[in-house]
Chain A
Amino acid sequence: MSGPDGSALVVNGRAHPIDGVPSHERLLDTLRGRLDLKGTKEGCRTGNCGACTVLVDGRSALSCLVLTHEVGDEPVTTIEGIAADPNGRRVQQAFLEEGALQCGYCTPGFVVALTGLLSESPGATAEELLTDLQGNLCRCTGYAAIVRAVRTLRAEGP
């Protein structure tokens, strides 16, 4: 499905027309405001907290710093669609078992970012994954349980 001018945003496998979306609108606002995908969290809006992380063509991106029209035909995956990715389900399960969440506001960003990293670098070590997760902030857990979840995932293999 696409709009009259042909522009569409593909999110979690579904195409949404975006020809009415202003050129300056951020992907975060399109997802939350127009598509009602509120699982992607609005935090700082300056690219410093990671709460709004989504996958664009499989790579993690801060949706507060991406313009909707920049995305083109690259598929977007949000937390609502992450379980369709086997890595997404593994990450969710590891976070569940290790209790790697408290208030839950940073959680979708962590799950999506880690899913993207696992798909992008299947052979990455736990230390490499943790280094790449530094852009995601958590104020509740002290990261300890998140680190345990990442180590559990790595112990299971790629």
Chain B
Amino acid sequence: MIRADAPAKLEGRIRFGTDRTRPGMLWAALVPAPVAHGRIRQLDLDPARRAPGVVAAIGAAEERALLPGRGAEATPIFPGEIRYRNQPIAAIAARSLEEARAAARAVRAEIEPLPLLADLDSVLPGWPEEGLPADAPINAHVRARHGDVEGEFARADRVRRDAFRTSGVAQVPLEPHACIAWIEGEVWHVLTSTQSPFGVREDAGELLGLPPERLVVEGSWVGGGFGGKVAALVEPYALLLAAASGAPVRLALTYREEFQLTRSTLPARVWIASAVRGGHLTARTVRLLLDTGGSLPGRDFATGYAIAFLLGPYRLDAFEVEGYAVRTHKPPFGSHRAPLAPQCTFAADGHTDALARDLGVDPVAFRRAHVWTAGDRTALGQEVGPFGAAAALDRARALQEEWRRSMPAGTGLGVGLGYWSTGTGAGGEVRLSLTPERLTIHEGEREIGSGSVVRGLVAMAERTLGLPADRIVLEYGDTATAPYDAGVFGSRTLGALGQAVGAAAHELTAELGRRLGAAGPARLGVEGDELWAAADGRRSPIAQLLTPGERDHGGLLRTGRHYGRSGAIDPARVHAGEFYAYHDFTASVHLAAVQVDRETGQVTVLRYAAIQDAGRVIDPPTFRAQVEGGVAMGLGTALTEEMLWGPDGRLENPGLLDYRVPTLLEIPPIEVIPLEGFPGAGPEGAKGVGEPPIIPVPAAVANAVADATGVRLYELPLTPERVARALMAR
């Protein structure tokens, strides 16, 4: 099946956020903070105002004047206290981009430097066994436990303890953030490249103090998101500039700014200990220090859910998890394709793999013996639904034996087991309109590339109604016209909006069946140019089944909804902070074959297989493409991608030369193996697969390196330097 957006994309006819313009548009530039932590004593915008072409120059004072109705407790858009290097402290709108940038350079700021917390180690040199200092910069503290942890460790016949470090990684969409803002009377508008128009309305509305009816967000085509375009980022600056200048304002990040300003996954330190008795994994304790950068207190979203991934998907008699979200002077932690799950899985699964090897047990069999199946409970007490991990491990074991026989000597094979909660609890809605010529799906999301909108939603309508894809049209609305949906994130689009399309389509078929006088629902089809409906041997053109009002005005309308839902955790197990209940438990089991150059430390991935718990595959080519893309991105996290910050809080590699994403010849052949039969809550039992395929990649690669060399790496990414050092230290 050819994607509906493919011809236009191949011919260069698609307009992304960076391509959009408006008549009379001004160009914007941001003024970056020259320090990572400091207080702005004085901001002098006059040199910028006097510069050629400048129409507006705004900082904190102008922001306050432009937003008189905003509450006093609101977080300012332009800070008084700088929280990370390059944080925008002012913004310029000018008649050309060159003039805006020149004026941005002319802004003078008097800044009092404040003490800098560059990284986790400068805040806490290790896990704070004795508790935290009273003034520790902590955004969140989470702690949960259950069972006789100390007793299980005392009774254990084997205990293993490991410590891991993981790196900050960037989403690196090819299209940087870009938007255009304008004001029409009381209503502020922004057209933006986003994964979530309604999310931008919520975020930007809160920052600007605008109620939903005064802020309209329209999505453009998105040139890659990967989590980086879920939350508002550039929109509030552009909206303020539009208000200040009275003209439409375009703001696009430079590629350098894309690295410097996008909220992403930040470094973490992890400690894991497991207790084994009689070959059984009985207890696990984990500790997590997560760098959450310049996130504001109380705004941590990652620690409470990511920490559970460190326990792995295993039955445990006892456990304890404890973690701190640590504030440093970096941009805030943000969403990034399964945020922190690949890193936590690298630690948890690497630790489990090593533990099995300590015990002299096959690592796959060891996982298989302890992994959840339907009806088990997670450590936090949530019931696990249908979960394909055990079946996927069986496939992986068979595949591993086959590869072992055929691969050259010196090849290391590694299995990685990861899981994810897909679907999300957020709700969404779509509206279907059937006319004699076509079905239109009215909805609020734009395609970000994964195909979840242009294929996923259309495929659901095709399957439910029986119509071919070329008779199904997507009509994207803005936040004023489209039904609400939370956004394209959390591997939820097919499960949520796809479910909503299916529900609305079922109502259409039921109504058409009634109108045909049939007992059951109708199937639709095409004859000549016309759509027809048939049921129980009765058939009719759609034109004759519609009322005159429907024929003249909008067609036969039905709305479909998805209600977010999730399980429940046992609150008695939670001792501090917030933990989350999950949705569909979705397993990913990967197999990597690697060769390691013992002199240079270079790891080459020769061959790769990804077994993905899919519930039900709705559109095989889209499914395959998601898994392939996720694996490739995971190989970047595993091998090359690492944001490097200097002691002054400066990102030292804000570009593609120094921040290395995988190139074409670095990706091995990837065998994609769907696993069905463990249904999720999505349509026909589908589970989301946007995020899961990235999760086990660093674990599978590191486990394969350990298999090849006998040396285990405890820090991501597995750069040649780190691998060579580990080999030399042996």
Contact = CB atoms under 8 A, between A and B. Distances in A.
Given A44-B255, A45-B255, A144-B667, A99 B12 contact: no
A61 interface: no
B655 interface: yes
Interface string B216-258: 0000011111100000000000000000000000000011000
Given A142-B670, A145-B625, A103 B173 contact: yes
A125 interface: no
A32 B175 CA distance: 15
Q: Counting chain B CB atoms within 10 Å of each CB, which of A43, A51, A145, A146 scores highest?
A: A43
Interface string B675-714: 0000000000000000000000000000000000000000
A134 interface: yes
26 contacts: A32-B19, A38-B15, A41-B175, A44-B656, A49-B174, A49-B255, A95-B10, A99-B3, A101-B10, A102-B629, A103-B175, A103-B225, A104-B14, A104-B449, A106-B174, A107-B9, A130-B665, A133-B664, A135-B663, A139-B629, A139-B633, A142-B628, A142-B633, A144-B628, A145-B628, A147-B664
B374 to A, nearest CB: 31
A15 interface: no
A78 interface: yes
Nearest to B634: A142
Interface in A126-158: 130-131, 133-147
Given A79-B12, A103-B448, A104-B5, A137 B175 contact: no
B172 interface: yes
Nearest to A99: B621
A92 interface: yes
Interface in B12-29: 12-16, 18-19
Given A46-B656, A130-B665, A139-B174, A107 B450 contact: no
A21 to B, nearest CB: 13
A93 to B, nearest CB: 9
Interface string B648-679: 00000001110001111101011000000000
Interface of B: 2-3, 5-7, 9-16, 18-19, 172-176, 221-226, 254-255, 447-451, 621, 625, 628-633, 655-657, 661-665, 667, 669-670
Contacts of B632: 141-144
Contacts of A38: 12, 15, 19
Contacts of A102: 449-451, 625, 629
Interface string A91-126: 010011101011111111001000000000000000
Nearest to B13: A39
A40 to B, nearest CB: 7
B174 A103 contact: yes
A71 interface: no
A48 B172 CA distance: 12
Q: Counting chain A CB atoms within 10 Å of each CB, which of B11, B174, B222, B621 scores highest?
A: B174
A105 B633 contact: no
Contact of A139 (B226, B664, B670): B226
Contacts of B16: 41, 105
Interface in A69-90: 78-80, 83
Given A105-B223, A139-B173, A42 B665 contact: no
A2 B555 CA distance: 53
A104 B663 contact: no
A108 B625 contact: no
Contacts, number: 151
Given A96-B2, A104-B221, 5 more contacts: A44-B656, A96-B10, A105-B173, A134-B665, A139-B224
Given A41-B223, A104-B221, A48 B664 contact: no
B12 A46 contact: no
Contact of B667 (A49, A92, A142): A142
A12 to B, nearest CB: 11
A48 B9 contact: no
A106 B621 CA distance: 19
A48 B10 contact: no
A95 B667 CA distance: 18
B449 to A, nearest CB: 3
A34 B510 CA distance: 54
Nearest to B172: A139
Contact of A46 (B2, B19, B255): B255
Contacts of B655: 44, 46, 48
Nearest to B449: A103
Interface in A1-56: 32, 37-46, 48-49, 51
Contacts of B224: 103, 105, 139-140
A146 to B, nearest CB: 7
A96 B7 CA distance: 7
A146 B665 CA distance: 11
A108 to B, nearest CB: 5
B96 to A, nearest CB: 10
Q: Counting chain B CB atoms within 10 Å of each CB, which of A42, A102, A135 scores highest?
A: A102
Contacts of B662: 142-143
Contacts of B663: 134-135, 137
Contacts of B15: 38
A96 to B, nearest CB: 5
The 4 closest A-B pairs by CB, nearest first: A39-B12, A103-B449, A142-B632, A105-B223
Contact of A104 (B18, B172, B223, B633): B223
B10 A92 contact: yes
Q: Counting chain A CB atoms within 10 Å of each CB, which of B175, B448, B450, B657 scores highest?
A: B175
Contacts of B11: 39, 79-80, 83, 92
A85 to B, nearest CB: 13
A133 B663 CA distance: 9
Given A134-B665, A137-B663, A139-B661, A99 B2 contact: yes
B18 A40 contact: no
Contacts of A138: 174, 664
Nearest to B7: A96
A103 B223 contact: yes
B18 to A, nearest CB: 6
A142 B667 CA distance: 7
Nearest to B659: A48
A105 B174 contact: yes
Contacts of B175: 41, 43, 103, 105
Q: Counting chain B CB atoms within 10 Å of each CB, which of A83, A111, A133, A137 scores highest?
A: A137
A147 B665 CA distance: 9
A127 to B, nearest CB: 9
Contacts of A92: 10-11
Nearest to A93: B10
B297 to A, nearest CB: 33
